[in-house]
Amino acid sequence: MADLSALRSMNRLFYVLLALGGLVALGGAYAVFMMEHHGHVISGMNNQIVWGMPHVFAIFLIVAASGVLNVASIGSVFGKAIYKARAPLASLLSIAMLSGGLAVLMLDLGRPDRIIVAATNYNLTSVFAWNVVLYSGMFSLVIVYLWTMMERRMNIFNKAAGLAVFAWRFILTTGTGLIFAFLTARQAYGSALLPPMFIVLSFAWGLAVFHVVQAVIYAWNEKTLDPAILHRKKNLLGVFVIGSLYMVAAYHLTNLYFAHQTAFENFILRDGGMFPNLFWWGYIVIGNLIPLLLIYAPGLGKNKSVMAASLLVVLGAFALLYVFIIGGQAFPLSIFPGYEVSSSFADGQIASYQPSLYEFLLGFGGLAIAFIITTVSVRVLNFMPQDKPYISD
Amino acid sequence: MRLLASLLLCLCIPAAWAAEANAPKLDIGLGGQCVKDTQWMRKNHMHLLKHQREETVRKGIREEKDALKNCVECHASAGDNSVTAREDSFCVGCHRYAAVKIDCFECHASKRKATLAKKDEQ
Amino acid sequence: MSDINTQRRQFLKTSAGAAAVAIAPGMLLYQVAHGNTQAASSKVRWGMLIDTTQCKEGCNDCVGACNKENGLSGGTKATDPQWIRKIELKDIGSGRVTSLPMMCQHCEHPPCVDVCPTQASFKRADGIVLVDRHRCIGCRYCMMACPYKARSFVHEPLENQNPDVPRGKGTVEACSLCVHRIDKGQIPACAEACENKAILFGDLNDANSEIHKKVRSVASVQIRADLQLNTGVRYQGL
């Protein structure tokens, strides 16, 4: 009897969570409606900062969606049993976050009603257009991959599908990096380091999201994760965080080395007000150093500290993307090197940007979409990792 | 089968009457035939406009007879010089009746050029 | 000469005049109504040569003319579109001050066209870089890609646009080189408005054009020539 009432309260909790997610998503819909009606003037974005807060959310979700599949790839491609048990959950998270991210990206368009034009008039030279194919391809590929895992008769194709997803997500994150890497005119972007940097970042961010969701699911099902598995996975997160720190450092150090880029680096790393603060405190300290401490410090590295480390990595991701996307645009474009410039169009000035409530509503709406897809799927299908007794492989 | 068809046909007749009766009464401005006859234009004006917009914007072929601007010049109301200002304005009246959204006038002017120029000078 | 004769002459005169009055607008209308039915030619490359030595500091005539011609509000808020702007330059080394108008440079290899996912940004056969607003979805990638910050996004709903220059909320826009004037055989509004004749407009490919001769004879530069975009707008005296 007591068991039944516990079940009921869990049931109620599920619907409460769903309602909360729905409410946040509704807030996003409201923001979209308002931005459609009044135009982007009600957002904080302007002609200098053309991509704002929605893009920070969208790019986080898309990059993490690709990175979370790393868990699945280690299982399917490299045949590690504990990861293979987690591949379905990783795939689900990937689909959920991809949906959320793409929704934000599309609904932020000036004319989202015309999105079909992106399919009918395709520009082969546009990275954006490539990404339309990459995203939709990823979406369908991951669904097939899930099918090969969850339908016994399809199991034989699992390895092939896993391999395809593995290759596809590398190309996809490369595509995301290329959006910026091809912007040769802007000091912050236009670097060949960006695609690999985004790939390594995606590993860390994806795994961090995975840890958070996994911990919640285990708690929900009142199970505990095998400490040996946790130990392996937290070490992996540690390696990814160190790797991403290395890529970000390499990106800034190469920039610092080029004389024409030093002004930009000084701005981002030292003089730019909130941007250096966000970079050093938000990304480096909160997003990297503290998580590494939580993972590796003796006596730490247990369930709770891994959970905290993962959450901090996600926070750091937002800080880094804000600095990268907004800071990169805020620094004045160098149109006339060697001159001091001024104009009515903010030439030579640091552009100002105040994200508006609507942008946050839209961004959180994207997160809510990912949340709803995950919650409902975990409820109706079996995504709980099924571990055999732990064998080291 | 035949019975069913004829029954359906019979049902159509009052529907057609009703449609005729409800048909919007438009303020057609100057009116008159310019490009093609009225029936043809009712059915096909959108194809013409779509074709012309590609020609004009992308290739620079400005066949002004087929330009939206030219449609507005004649069909704007004599009263308010607009094709969209009122319920019975030339474009709005019919599109509302047919329940088709017009996406032209978010960018294109819906008033005669002369009246816009006059306003500019004021 | 009888009265009748005079009357008859008078009558003929008036009716001929009336007929002329009745027919002439029709003929005029006929000519206007046909417009320019020729497609833009790839033999032509429209361009501008801007003489910065003739551009006066603080003078905004070109900007005003552009705003009027294209129906821009003239506002300079961060969300207001600006198709052309005056930039004041000060050489960091020598302190020499230069003033110049900046707008879409109408590149031969425009980055905005490369990155546009829907081919809304395109280059017309005669070298004019335009936005096809029927296709623009408002992603703003072109604004990220443009090295000259030439493009603006329409942040607010608009009304009472110039019938020759349709523009609207949610799409990106930029200097069109006054394409609607060029197609009528006129020169861009900014070039016409400049009292000092600092803006020379013409066909860079036409060996007899003034701009072609001048580009050959005086030193001119392209802005951000290092990007090798081969701009249609050149600057002299920089």
Tell me whether B113 touches chain C (CB under 8 Å).
yes
Contacts of C138 in chain A (CB under 8 A): 109-112
Contacts of C21 (CB under 8 A, 6+ apart): none
Pure H helices in chain B: 2-22, 38-54, 68-75, 90-98, 113-121
Tell me whether C136 touches chain B (CB under 8 Å).
no
Q: Is B60's CB within 8 Å of C124's CB?
A: yes
Task: Name the residue with tokens 């009918």.
Answer: A120
Tell me whether C48 touches chain B (CB under 8 Å).
no
Q: What is the mean pLDDT of residues C154-172?
A: 94
Q: Is C163's CB within 8 Å of B62's CB?
A: no
Helix, strand, or coil here: A93? helix
Pair type for strands C233-236 and C46-51: parallel
Within 188-227 of C, beta carbons closer than 8 Å to B belong to: none
What secondary structure does DSSP assign to C97-124, as a single string? EEEEEEE----SS-HHHHH-TTS-EEE-
Q: What is the mean pLDDT of residues A116-136?
A: 92
**pLDDT grade for C26, boundaries at 50, 70 and 90:** very low
Tell me whether C192 touches chain A (CB under 8 Å).
no
Q: Is C170's CB within 8 Å of A111's CB?
A: yes
C53 DSSP assignment: G
Share of chain A above pLDDT 90, in %: 75
Yes or no: say if A199 and A174 are a contact pair by the CB < 8 Å rule. Answer: yes
Q: Which of A81, A118, A98 is nearest to A168 (CA)?
A: A98
Q: A113: distance to nearest CA of chain C, Å?
A: 8
Yes or no: say if B38 and B27 are a contact pair by the CB < 8 Å rule. Answer: no
Q: How far apart are CA A90 and CA A292, in angstroms?
A: 23
Q: Which residues of A280-309 are buried (b: 16+ CB within 10 A; e: fewer)?
A: eebbbebbbebbbebbeeeeebebebbbbb
**pLDDT grade for B122, boundaries at 50, 70 and 90:** very low
Within 7-66 of A, beta carbons closer than 8 Å to C belong to: 38-41, 46-48, 50-51
Helix, strand, or coil here: A254? helix
Under 8 Å CB pairs connecting chains B and C tally to 73
Q: B64: distance to nearest CA of chain C, Å?
A: 5
**A20, two tokens:** 């909360």
**pLDDT grade for C8, boundaries at 50, 70 and 90:** low
Q: How far apart are CA B97 and CA C53, in angstroms?
A: 60
A354 DSSP assignment: -
Q: Choose the weakest-confidence range: A61-70, A382-391, C26-35, C69-78.
A: C26-35
Q: How far apart are CA A170 and CA A97, in angstroms?
A: 16
Q: What is the pLDDT of residues A130-182, one digit of tens each?
A: 999 999 999 999 999 999 998 889 888 989 999 999 999 999 999 999 999 99
Q: Is C164's CB within 8 Å of B53's CB?
A: no
**A89, two tokens:** 């959950």
Tell me whether C115 touches chain A (CB under 8 Å).
yes
Q: Choose the weakest-confidence range: A88-92, A153-157, B117-121, C122-126.
A: B117-121
**pLDDT grade for B66, boundaries at 50, 70 and 90:** confident
Yes or no: say if C141 and C117 are a contact pair by the CB < 8 Å rule. Answer: yes
**pLDDT grade for C147, boundaries at 50, 70 and 90:** very high
Q: How far is CA B30 from CA A12, B26, C23, in A?
A: 66, 12, 18
**Does residue A190 have a pLDDT over 50?**
yes
Q: How far is CA A128 from CA A175, A178, A353, C115, in A?
A: 8, 9, 24, 7
Tell me whether B119 touches chain C (CB under 8 Å).
yes
Q: What is the pLDDT of residues B77-105, one digit of tens each?
A: 888 889 998 888 999 999 999 999 999 99
Residue of A nearest to C82 (CA): A345
Yes or no: say if A168 and A141 are a contact pair by the CB < 8 Å rule. Answer: yes
> How confident is the model at residue C179, as a pLDDT?
96
What secondary structure does DSSP assign to C209-224, as a single string? SHHHHHHHHS-EE-TT
Pair type for strands C97-103 and C121-123: unpaired
Q: What is the pLDDT of residues C188-232, one digit of tens each?
A: 999 999 999 999 999 999 999 999 999 999 999 999 999 999 999
Q: How far apart are CA C229 and CA A249, in angstroms?
A: 32
> How confident is the model at residue C29, as a pLDDT?
44
Query: Which run of H or of E encompasses C203?
Result: strand C199-203
Q: Is C141's CB within 8 Å of A179's CB?
A: yes
Residue B89 pairs with which residues in a beta bridge? B27
Tell me whether C152 touches chain A (CB under 8 Å).
yes
Q: Is A112's CB within 8 Å of C137's CB?
A: yes
CB atoms within 10 A of CB A116: 10
Q: How far apart are CA A239 and CA A88, in angstroms?
A: 23
Q: What is the mean pLDDT of residues A75-103?
A: 92
Q: Which of A370, A270, A336, A309 is nearest to A61 (CA)?
A: A370
Tell me whether C185 touches chain B (CB under 8 Å).
no
Q: How far apart are CA A142 and CA A114, in angstroms?
A: 27
Yes or no: say if B49 and B94 are a contact pair by the CB < 8 Å rule. Answer: no
**Least CB-CB distance to A132: which of C77, C117, C120?**
C117
Tell me whether C27 touches chain A (CB under 8 Å).
no
Tell me whether C229 touches chain A (CB under 8 Å).
no
- Considering chain C, what is the average pLDDT of its residues? 89
Helix, strand, or coil here: C236? strand
Residue of A nearest to C96 (CA): A339
> How confident is the model at residue A48, as a pLDDT?
96
Largest CA distance in chain B: 69
Q: What is the mean pLDDT of residues C39-43?
A: 90
Q: Is C88's CB within 8 Å of A342's CB?
A: yes
Contacts of C168 in chain B (CB under 8 A): 106-107
Q: What is the pLDDT of residues A328-359, one digit of tens each?
A: 999 999 999 989 999 999 999 999 999 999 99
Q: C34: distance to nearest CA of chain B, Å?
A: 5
> How confident is the model at residue A393, as a pLDDT?
59
Q: What is the pLDDT of residues A210-240, one digit of tens each?
A: 999 999 998 888 888 888 888 888 999 999 9
Please name the amino acid found at residue A214: Q
Task: Name the residue with tokens 């937290």.
Answer: A234
Helix, strand, or coil here: B82? strand
C50 DSSP assignment: E
**B90, two tokens:** 């030339």
| Domain boundaries, given as residue ranges, for chain B | 24-117
Q: What is the pLDDT of residues A271-311, one digit of tens each?
A: 999 999 999 999 999 999 999 999 998 887 678 899 999 99
- Considering chain B, what is the average pLDDT of its residues? 81
> How confident is the model at residue A78, as a pLDDT?
85
> How confident is the model at residue B35, as a pLDDT?
86
Q: Which residues of A19-58 are buried (b: 16+ CB within 10 A; e: fewer)?
A: eebeebbebbeebbebbbeebbbbbbbbbbbbbbbbbbbb
Q: Is A184's CB within 8 Å of C171's CB?
A: no
Q: Angle formed by the axes of helices A158-181 and A194-220, to 10°?
A: 130
Q: B97: distance to nearest CA of chain C, Å?
A: 24
Tell me whether A2 touches chain C (CB under 8 Å).
no
Tell me whether C149 touches chain A (CB under 8 Å).
yes
Yes or no: say if C161 and C171 are a contact pair by the CB < 8 Å rule. Answer: no
**B82, two tokens:** 């607009």
Share of chain A above pLDDT 70, in %: 98
Tell me whether B70 touches chain C (CB under 8 Å).
yes
**Does residue C33 have a pLDDT over 50?**
no
Tell me whether B72 touches chain C (CB under 8 Å).
yes
Q: How far apart are CA A365 and CA A26, in angstroms?
A: 7
Choose between B121 and B3: higher pLDDT.
B3
Query: Which run of H or of E encompasses A383?
Result: none
Can you say whether residue C117 is alpha, beta or left, with left for phi > 0 and alpha for psi between -120 and 50 degrees? alpha
Q: Is B116's CB within 8 Å of C183's CB?
A: no
Q: Is C154's CB within 8 Å of A184's CB?
A: no
CB atoms within 10 A of CB B86: 14
Q: How far apart are CA A121 and CA A130, in angstroms?
A: 12
**Does residue C54 have a pLDDT over 60?**
yes
**pLDDT grade for C47, boundaries at 50, 70 and 90:** very high
**Does residue A7 have a pLDDT over 60?**
yes
Q: What is the pLDDT of residues B9-56, one digit of tens each?
A: 655 555 555 555 577 788 887 877 888 888 899 899 999 999 899 999
**Does residue A244 have a pLDDT over 80?**
yes
**pLDDT grade for C11, boundaries at 50, 70 and 90:** low
Tell me whether B107 touches chain C (CB under 8 Å).
yes
**pLDDT grade for C30, boundaries at 50, 70 and 90:** very low
Yes or no: say if C224 and C147 are a contact pair by the CB < 8 Å rule. Answer: yes
N-terminal to C-terminal alpha carbon distance within chain A? 43
